[in-house]
């Protein structure tokens, strides 16, 4: 009887591979500041809830808004000046009695204004990018952790908050390298229930800790409960 039991266990292990993993969100995002400034709003009430076009963090942008307004004015002035200087150059260029030096000097005025306009456009784009990064809005993501409060001063690299994508879940297991290929065509069972799931990704480089195994990811659609231990079988 003992021999028969051992044989049954061997047969079962030959046709079934069993693993355990925690069901975690498919993606976690670590949001860090890319700008300097004082935090004027921190939506701590949304921590632990799903966002819905919600402002999470807002950083003071008064100086940038003032500068952006002035740059728009300067661009308007420079454009008017440029049109005048270009017209002057066209008129001067038609006058045969004027020297090449005078004509080049007038052309240089236009080119200098064009260079100024290009610099202002670059500064305008930079300010718009800074302003976008000073008001951080999230939609349909779970706000896991808010790391700054109103009144804090942040610099580039400061951790602001974390979000998670709960639309899918991910199971991460480590499979012996010589067994990975045999799992590809097998049916996946989760907690003894047959599924239509397939292996999403196989990392074909041995893991730094599990040195004789490949990491294998299985993605689960619309999970109801996260961070629970799941039994995974391949049959």
Report pTM: 0.77
Both 163 and 181 in one domain: the answer is yes
By residue range, what is the domain housing residue 111? 62-132
Both 43 and 85 in one domain: the answer is no
Beta strands in the chain (DSSP E): 17-22, 24-32, 37-42, 54-59, 135-138, 142-146, 153-154, 159-176, 188-190, 193-194, 199-203, 213-221, 229-234
Both 110 and 22 in one domain: the answer is no
Least confident of 81-90, 144-153, 225-234: 81-90
Both 116 and 158 in one domain: the answer is no
Stretch 50-63: mean pLDDT:
97
- Residue 165, in any domain of the structure: yes
* pLDDT, position 216: 94
Q: Tell me which residue of 66, 56, 67 sits closest to 31, measured CA to CA.
A: 56
Both 197 and 88 in one domain: the answer is no
**Position 167 pLDDT exceeds 70:** yes
Q: What CA–CA distance (Å, rounded) separates 16 from 110?
A: 78
Both 152 and 223 in one domain: the answer is yes
Stretch 29-40: mean pLDDT:
97
Residue 16's pLDDT band (cuts 50, 70, 90): low
Q: What CA–CA distance (Å, rounded) separates 210 from 214?
A: 8
Both 115 and 74 in one domain: the answer is yes
Total count of residues recorded for the chain: 235
Both 152 and 203 in one domain: the answer is yes
Both 165 and 199 in one domain: the answer is yes
CA dihedral 19, 234, 197, 27 (to 10 degrees): 20
* pLDDT, position 6: 37
Least confident of 8-12, 74-78, 151-155, 200-204: 8-12
- Burial class from Cβ neighbours inside 10 Å (0-12, 13-18, 19+) for residue 69 reads exposed
* pLDDT, position 182: 86
* pLDDT, position 56: 98
Both 225 and 185 in one domain: the answer is yes
Both 174 and 90 in one domain: the answer is no
* pLDDT, position 210: 72
């Amino acid at each position: 009887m003992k021999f028969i039991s051992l044989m049954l266990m061997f047969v079962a292990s030959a046709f079934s591979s069993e693993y355990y993993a925690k069901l975690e969100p498919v993606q976690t995002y670590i949001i860090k500041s890319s700008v300097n400034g004082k935090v004027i709003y921190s939506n701590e009430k949304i921590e632990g809830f799903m966002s819905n076009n919600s402002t999470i963090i807002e950083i003071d942008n008064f100086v940038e808004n003032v500068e952006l307004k002035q740059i728009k004015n300067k661009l308007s002035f420079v454009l008017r000046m440029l049109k005048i200087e270009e017209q002057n150059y066209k008129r001067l260029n038609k006058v045969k009695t004027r020297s090449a030096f005078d004509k080049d000097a007038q052309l240089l005025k236009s080119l200098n204004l064009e260079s100024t306009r290009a610099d202002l456009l670059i500064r305008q784009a930079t300010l718009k990018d800074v302003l976008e990064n000073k008001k951080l809005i999230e939609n349909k993501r779970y706000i896991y952790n808010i790391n700054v409060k109103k009144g804090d001063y942040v610099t580039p690299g400061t951790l602001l908050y974390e979000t998670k994508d709960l639309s899918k879940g991910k199971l991460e297991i480590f499979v012996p390298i010589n067994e990975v290929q045999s799992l590809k065509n097998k049916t996946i069972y989760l907690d003894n229930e047959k599924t239509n799931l397939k292996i999403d990704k196989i990392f074909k480089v041995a893991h730094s800790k599990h040195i004789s195994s490949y990491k294998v990811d299985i993605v689960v659609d619309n999970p109801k409960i996260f961070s629970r231990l799941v039994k995974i079988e391949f049959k």
